[in-house]
């Protein structure tokens, strides 16, 4: 047998490529030897070199299949991850909120936000020797309102204590707080299903609030490279309230819902300056786990999670910490009582400070400050003048006005509470116009809500472009929208015309309170066709659609189970196309068509089929 | 008048008001000395010139530990001392001799406190500071609607919306010039524009910062 050239052999063995002749032997080799080689060898066909590339969609599908087959864990959704079988989670939350006051807590310097650094600093704020605190009574008003909104008992006498620790953002070396005798105790907050609690908590859950206390804020620091900090003492001494809940939450979603609800309540009584996202409200979460069959009745060691900057972070951090503690305990370890931090998008909490660094705060009553004595009269005045709280408002919207929970929630939350005021204004005007005609079944209310939410939302990409004022007016005047809705409700214009009008009002093409004149001027009143005219159009449309009528016959004779609603609407659409659309109401067209199908077309078809046989 | 108030305050914090003669035992509970009869003339100069009691009586008597009625205070360990010094941001002792001196001083201070701690204060409200706790005094300290500042704050609020919720008008100018107008940045040892500068590195003789 002739020797195979090394180059060709190498190319075949290493790359699977054959020469021009498609076989691996020299030209002068005998055919017998060649065929033997050809039968026993398996070689890559030349066709494989030219295979088309795999379609990307197929590639993605293959990858997903491979991933699933490999058994890699997919990240669980939060709603499915509320409980771990065999373990009970306990969560307690401490919320710090900046109070809405003109002056600081213990000095007459002004509170501010992003003003010139170190421009609102009193002598006591930087703890200059010889300076004394002077309690500013202004701080009591939002503090007492916040405590009342949380259902607490306001203590007649409360006192201030010092919490000692050294940090560069605290000039005095101690923070003045209310450790032993806070000004409000024993409150509660009721969370409902609509507040976003875990499904496992049922319809509603009541969380107790241990106490609400007043305390000072610290300075703002900016960390710079080279271990240098820049300090702005404008924020030192600004009043905060700390809300401490009882450890009665057992699901992460409920804990996040509690923080959201506390922020909403504080906002509604004008007690807090800004929300969690803006840094005006902070939540520190205490998490512990124990087995469900634990008979000792004691809670497990708790860890504290700080640096949470959003509601989602609260839920995610609790889930991560719970899983970490369970894994630790199942492996036979012990949970250390430490402080941990969380970063957005993280998977596990990280240790900030361990037990060795646990600080002894050496609480002592502050001797420079007298007790805070709150007058009963002031408390009752504030309690009666708080206005309707959000829960009561939501209940009224749902039960009295008949809105759905989802719609009511959206209305109340949009535009910082301005959208619901707009809705009330529109509703007032609408009811004024309708007078005695207003529907007893609240359909006009639902119409107004639908338009204030959805139609108004369609006008702009961002809701701030509507320029909604806090008193409830925007680019579309409430009186004008009410006029449009009034005409819709009385069926004087069609929905399509109404939407066009809304656009015109938004763009300022129709003058204020000139909606009715505009309709008159452009002749857009809805002059509905008579029944016979509808019937005539229906007849003309059905002419070429006998097959569709056959569907209705099949339903009548029982061959199909469901009424062919889709086919009906198809025919209605054809009718609207055929006839003068602005004079037609789809509902009336459908009604007439339905009747004519029953009475005229089906018998005609039956007669035709009988004649054919 | 002053004497009765001091005595009533002393009773409140539980210190015995019986005056003990230095010739008698150092214990705070002793039999009453014979009081001068009302008919006898009281010589104030003679009465006040001799001290009848000294704080020294509360310090540990090294010569006669048996007569001391209070139990010896627990000894402080070196690590406890270091912990206390760190909490107070005080420098640690430089040498073992300095440390033992500090410990002995602390020990005698604790035995002094023991005498106070041994008094039964069951049911006695601790005194936080001396203030006017009469009904008139408390009424003066009460914060309510009768205070001008509170009334002004409530009057400047506006009632918003259908739910009639009061809201403070933000952005209204607050006159705090009296408190704010002084050279704040003049107290800074190091500045950067309008900011105070602090070095946060653990260097030099600074102890590590304890983060609260």
Cβ neighbours of B181 in A, within 8 Å: none
Q: Which pLDDT value is given to residue A107?
A: 95
| H-type alpha helices, A50-185 | 56-70, 140-149
Name the minimum distance, in Å, from the CA of B118 to any CA of chain A. 20
Which candidate, A508, A490, A501, A499, places its Cα nearest to that of A455? A499
| Of residues A221, A230, A375, nearest to B192 (C-beta) | A230
CB A412 within 8 A of CB A398: no
Q: Which pLDDT value is given to residue A140?
A: 95
pTM of this structure: 0.76
Residues with pLDDT less than 50, chain A = 29-44, 46-48
Could you tell me the strand order of the sheet in which B142-143 lies? A157-158, A372-374, B142-143
Contact of A100 with chain B, judged by CB distance below 8 Å, is answered with: yes
Q: Which pLDDT value is given to residue A357?
A: 54
Read off the pLDDT of each residue in B73-90 and give the average, rounded to a whole number. 87
- Stretch among A609-613, B52-56, B60-64, B110-114 having the lowest mean pLDDT: B60-64
Name the minimum distance, in Å, from the CA of A385 to any CA of chain B. 8
| Of residues A270, A372, A470, nearest to B166 (C-beta) | A270
Do B150 and A173 lie within an 8 Å CB cutoff? no
**Is 90 exceeded by the pLDDT of residue B191?**
yes
Which candidate, A229, A228, A217, places its Cα nearest to that of A120? A217
**Is 50 exceeded by the pLDDT of residue B154?**
yes
Q: Which pLDDT value is given to residue B24?
A: 41
Per-domain residue ranges for chain A? Answer: 1-40, 87-377, 388-522, 531-612
Name the minimum distance, in Å, from the CA of A455 to any CA of chain B. 23
Cβ neighbours of B144 in A, within 8 Å: 374-375, 377-378
Residue that has been written with the tokens 């079944």 in this structure? A441
Count the residues in chain B. 212
Residue B201: closest C-alpha in chain A: A227
Q: Which pLDDT value is given to residue A15?
A: 83
CA atoms within 13 A on the CB side of A516: 8
**Burial classification of residue A127, based on how many CB atoms lie within 10 Å of its CB (0-12 exposed, 13-18 middle, 19 or more buried):** middle
**Is 70 exceeded by the pLDDT of residue B32?**
no
Q: Which pLDDT value is given to residue B46?
A: 87
Q: Which pLDDT value is given to residue B144?
A: 93
Q: Which pLDDT value is given to residue B72?
A: 66
| Three-state secondary structure of chain B | CHHHHHHHHHHHHCCCCCCCCCCCCCCCCCCCCCCCCCCCCCCHHHHHHCCCCCHHHHCCCCCCCCCCCCCCCCCCCHHHHHHHHHHCCCCCCCCHHHHHHHHHHHHHHHHHHHHHHCCCCCCCCCCCCCCCCCHHHHHHHEECCCCHHHHHHHHCCEEECCCCEEECCCCCCCCCHHHHCCCCHHHCCCEECCEEEEECCCCCCCCCCCCC
Q: Which pLDDT value is given to residue A152?
A: 96
Contact of B162 with chain A, judged by CB distance below 8 Å, is answered with: yes
The beta strands (E) that lie in A197-255 are given as 204-216, 220-224, 228-232, 239-245
Q: Which pLDDT value is given to residue A49?
A: 54
Q: Which pLDDT value is given to residue B70?
A: 55
Contact of A356 with chain B, judged by CB distance below 8 Å, is answered with: no
Q: Which pLDDT value is given to residue A279?
A: 86
Q: Which pLDDT value is given to residue A42?
A: 47
| Of residues A122, A232, A378, nearest to B150 (C-beta) | A378
- Stretch among A177-186, B65-74, B106-115, B150-159 having the lowest mean pLDDT: B65-74
Contact of B183 with chain A, judged by CB distance below 8 Å, is answered with: no
CA distance A237 to B176: 14
Q: Which pLDDT value is given to residue A286?
A: 95
Q: Which pLDDT value is given to residue B207?
A: 40
Q: Which pLDDT value is given to residue A232?
A: 95
Contact of A428 with chain B, judged by CB distance below 8 Å, is answered with: no
Name the minimum distance, in Å, from the CA of A602 to any CA of chain B. 57
């Amino acid at each position: 047998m002739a020797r195979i050239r090394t180059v060709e052999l190498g190319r075949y063995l290493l790359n699977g490529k054959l020469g021009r002749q498609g076989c691996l032997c020299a030209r002068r080799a005998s055919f017998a030897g060649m065929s033997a080689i050809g039968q026993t060898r398996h070689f890559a066909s030349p066709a494989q070199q030219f295979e088309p590339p795999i379609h990307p969609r197929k590639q993605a599908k293959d990858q997903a299949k491979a991933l699933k087959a490999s058994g890699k864990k997919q990240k669980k959704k939060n709603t499915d991850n509320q409980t771990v079988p065999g373990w009970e989670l306990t969560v307690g939350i401490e919320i710090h909120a900046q109070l809405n006051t003109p002056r600081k807590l213990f000095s007459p310097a002004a509170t501010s936000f992003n003003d010139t650094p170190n421009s609102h600093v009193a002598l006591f704020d930087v703890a200059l020797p010889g300076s004394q605190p002077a309690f500013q009574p202004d701080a009591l008003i939002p503090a007492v309102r916040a405590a009342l909104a949380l259902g607490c008992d306001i203590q007649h006498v409360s006192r201030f204590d010092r919490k000692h620790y050294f940090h560069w953002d605290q000039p005095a070396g101690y923070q003045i707080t209310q450790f032993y005798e806070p000004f409000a105790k024993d409150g509660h907050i009721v969370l409902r299903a609509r507040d976003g609690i875990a499904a496992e908590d049922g319809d509603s859950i009541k969380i107790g609030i241990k106490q609400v206390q007043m305390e000072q804020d610290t300075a703002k620091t900016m960390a710079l490279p080279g271990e240098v900090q820049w300090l702005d003492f404008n924020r030192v001494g600004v009043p905060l309230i700390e809300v401490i809940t009882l450890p009665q939450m057992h699901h992460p979603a409920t804990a996040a819902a509690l923080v959201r609800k506390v922020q909403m309540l504080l906002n509604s009584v004008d007690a807090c300056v800004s929300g969690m996202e803006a840094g005006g409200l902070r939540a520190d979460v205490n998490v512990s786990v124990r087995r469900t069959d634990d008979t000792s009745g004691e809670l497990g060691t708790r860890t504290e999670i700080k640096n949470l900057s959003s509601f989602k972070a609260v839920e995610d951090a609790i889930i991560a910490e719970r899983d970490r503690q369970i894994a630790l305990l199942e492996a036979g370890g012990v949970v250390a009582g430490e402080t941990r931090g969380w970063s957005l998008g993280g998977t596990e909490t990280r240790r900030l400070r361990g037990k060795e660094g646990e600080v002894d705060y050496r609480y002592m009553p502050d001797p420079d400050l007298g007790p805070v004595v709150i007058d009963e009269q002031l408390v009752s005045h504030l309690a009666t003048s708080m206005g309707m709280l959000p829960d009561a408002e939501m209940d009224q919207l749902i039960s009295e006005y008949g809105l759905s929970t989802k719609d009511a929630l959206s209305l109340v939350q949009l535009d910082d509470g301005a959208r619901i005021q707009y809705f009330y204004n529109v509703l007032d005007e609408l009811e004024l116009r309708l007078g005695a005609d207003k529907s007893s079944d609240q359909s006009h209310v639902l119409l107004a809500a639908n338009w204030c939410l959805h139609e108004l939302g369609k006008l702009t990409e961002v809701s701030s472009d509507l320029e909604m004022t806090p008193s409830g007016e925007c680019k579309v005047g409430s009186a004008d929208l009410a006029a449009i809705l009034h005409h819709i409700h009385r069926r004087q214009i069609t929905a399509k015309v109404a939407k066009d009008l809304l656009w015109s009002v938004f763009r300022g093409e129709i003058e204020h309170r000139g909606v009715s004149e505009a309709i008159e001027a452009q002749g857009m009143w809805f002059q509905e066709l008579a029944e016979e005219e509808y019937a005539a159009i229906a007849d003309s449309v059905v002419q070429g659609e006998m097959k569709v009528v056959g569907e209705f016959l099949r339903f009548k004779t029982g061959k199909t189970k469901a009424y062919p609603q889709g086919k009906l609407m198809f025919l209605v659409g054809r009718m609207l196309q055929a006839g003068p659309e602005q004079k037609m109401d789809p509902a009336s067209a459908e009604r007439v068509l339905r009747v004519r199908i029953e009475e005229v077309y089906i018998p005609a078809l039956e007669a035709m089929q009988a004649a054919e046989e | 008048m002053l004497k009765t108030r001091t005595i009533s305050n002393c009773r409140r914090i539980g210190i015995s008001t019986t005056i003990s003669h230095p010739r008698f035992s150092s214990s705070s509970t002793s039999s009453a000395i014979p009081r001068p009869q009302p008919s006898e003339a009281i010589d104030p100069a003679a009465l006040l010139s001799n001290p009848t009691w000294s704080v020294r009586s509360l310090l540990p008597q090294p010569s006669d530990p048996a007569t001391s009625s209070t139990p010896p205070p627990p000894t402080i360990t070196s690590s406890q001392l270091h912990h206390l010094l760190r909490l107070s941001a005080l420098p640690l002792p430089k040498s073992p001799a300095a440390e033992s001196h500090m410990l002995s001083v602390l020990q005698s201070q604790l035995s002094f406190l023991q005498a106070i701690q041994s008094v039964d204060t069951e049911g006695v409200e601790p005194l936080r500071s001396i203030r006017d706790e009469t009904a008139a005094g408390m009424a003066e300290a009460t914060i309510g609607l009768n205070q001008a500042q509170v009334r002004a704050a409530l009057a400047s609020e506006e009632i918003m919306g259908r739910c009639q919720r009061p809201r403070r008008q933000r952005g209204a100018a607050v006159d705090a010039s009296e408190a704010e107008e002084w050279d704040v940045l003049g107290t800074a040892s190091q500045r950067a524009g309008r900011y105070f500068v602090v070095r946060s590195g653990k260097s030099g003789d600074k102890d590590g910062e304890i983060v609260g």
